[in-house]
Structure 1
Amino acid sequence: MGLAWNCRGLGNALSPTIPKIRALLSKKYYDFIFLMETKCNVSSISPLFRSFGFEMYVGMDAIGASRGLWVGWRSGEKISHVYSCMNFVILRIAKYNGLLWYLVLFYGAPKASMRASGLRGAAVFNEWKVRIELVDIPFKGPCFTWCNNRKGLNRVYERIDKALASKDWFAVFPNIGLKHYPIQISDHAPIELDLNLVQNVNRKPYKLDSWALEHEACLMEIREAWYVNIVGSPAFRTVRKLALVRQRVKSWTLDKKSEWTQKWEDFDLRLEKGMDLVIREGKDEEFTKVDEEVRAFARAAASFWKQRAKLRWTIDGDACTKYFFQLG
């Protein structure tokens, strides 16, 4: 298990990042910790983490009031340092299942102008990533790991901090996952690598019932939810709007289903009154109106149960088709 955080400064003894790191390290046992943008020298912060058991460490000193990397691990772990520079650190791990693994801890350039010009070796790294088929490790927690800390319409959220693993690693650790902590103190969120992250396998994703789209009221719910004014980046607004649409449509469909039992009884009463008007006064307007409502309601109910049954009715000849009656 490991922890990584772009903490944005550890040089000040009164920095709020230090109490937060203490709180994180006191909760769980981490094999390694990776801190970015420490903004101080390696020697000045190493004693702090030695008290938590991270006797072994490597890092890069800050340049002025920016940058700085620090990676620490416990002396009992079979971890060794391979290479390090201002943008990444490579560790060799021989702990798990007697196999040899390499851990690459990567830190991008702090300024957008530097990223635009390209990091040295970035093209080679991307080519290597594709060649060995690294896969994005699934995560739990908030969707975004970075915020520009601006206010109002200028606020932007993105998922910048992430982790990749090879197929071989997934084969050995099928429950591997990331935990995203909320963004706090820094503009980045701490992320936690867990080899045995508990997966909520019983939670099924919500699926929109096709019958609901036949109702104008449902379509209105979707339009109203989508045009709600949400502040943030385009990605953040899209995610929030999709979540809002899901919530509104799910609520609407559940309310609609609860009405169905009572609905048939209401239709029976209204049809009886309509038939009575036809017999006594010869007026069939009310009966025709209710009859059309019943047919529309029945079509929606049939669509619902057909989707629930998950059968290929028409293809297999189980539906009420001409082919079905010919076989009968």
Structure 2
Amino acid sequence: MVERTLRVCRFESWRIVSPIGVAGGLVLAWKEGVKVQIVSEKEYYIAVTVKDLSNRLNWGLIGVYLNTNEQVRAGQFHELSATIQKMQNEMIVMGDFNTIASQEEKRGGGLKSWSSISDFNNFIDGSSLMDLGMVGRNFTWSNKRRGEEQILERLDRILVSNSWLHMFPTNTVTRMQENGSDHALLLLDTSLQVERSKRRFKFQQRWCGVEAVRGVITEAWNSYVEGSAMFVLAQKLKLCRHRLVQWQKTSKSNSKAEIEEILKKIEELRETGINGGIEVEELENMLENAYGREESYWKEKSRIKWLKEGDKNTKFVHQSFQSRVRRNKIWKLERNDRSFATSRADIALVAEDYFRDIFSSTNSTDPEGEFEDFLPKVSLAMNRRLLRPVSLDEVKRLCLVCTLKVHPVMMGSQQSSSITTGTLWLGMCFER
């Protein structure tokens, strides 16, 4: 039955792990364009190496269907960790893990065992994997019941290594609809076309120690701008931003490229037999400074607040940055007709329509009736007095009062401490 279905779907090759009774069972199928080699398999996983013949990329893949028993699953995590270490490839581990990574990944029923959650997270961290997340609803499994008896969990997911993520940086996981199953399908697309937008300018902390940046900012800030104080401030900030963008394009501000260039120069000197001296020492100092700037850059990108200055530029920092980028990206938005907008332009239109709707009035009735029970605080006589025009005599009396108030201040009287600066300035203006 399974093989016939695979042929109908035009798969050319496959590997099947038969179920034990009515439980378990795995199928891994592939079409032309990839070369798959089986590494190992058991009743709960299939481990293979994949070679993409079109771009010559290689990676490891493990498809899993773990046991529902917590003690058995803990042993399976241990065996999977050992298999991942043996393969030593860019790795992707995907399938039904039959457990969750936090209590928030379950709705309904009792709480999951904390030891089960801890075992799963230890497996993820110990294998240096990260969750790709998914686009769609938060849960992948349902007990198919309704009301208070309904239980939803996220049992299925795709975990990858950081090196695999660098190989396929533009990828997305989409949660498909359940059709005749209590599990939802997950579709991984590694050839996602990303629409590039204009990059937002952000001052980088690693520029602080660069003398050229100090000169660029000083020159822009000392430029003459005419206008109000706030206008001058805004224009100078804008000019600094534009000058820094120009400097970044023309200078070697990329610390990663600088590190590679310095390493290349050091290697060239060593090939000629020069392993010491002033030139090598200068290059090593430059290399240390470049490493410091690169480390500062990734710390700033990762936004891990508790990392202190001096911590190493670890994979954890890179993974934190990659996870934040994927978490903050809006992959799709649902329209009113239950369809989904996926392109950048369509997502922008859906968001614009949504906020226009919630900030637009839908009440066409006259609101004056709502204020009938409010008691007025300003009488009609008070309102007429407040709105009447100011006469010239009143202006002259005001000028005279202010001028008289300022004289004691100008003569050094002790009363000066009780008169505000605003009164002093106004009195001097009227006196003149």
Q: Give the TM-score normalised by structure 1.
A: 0.46
Q: Give the TM-score normalised by structure 2.
A: 0.36
Which is bigger in relative contact order (C-alpha 8 A, separation at least 6)? 1
The structure with the larger Rg is 2
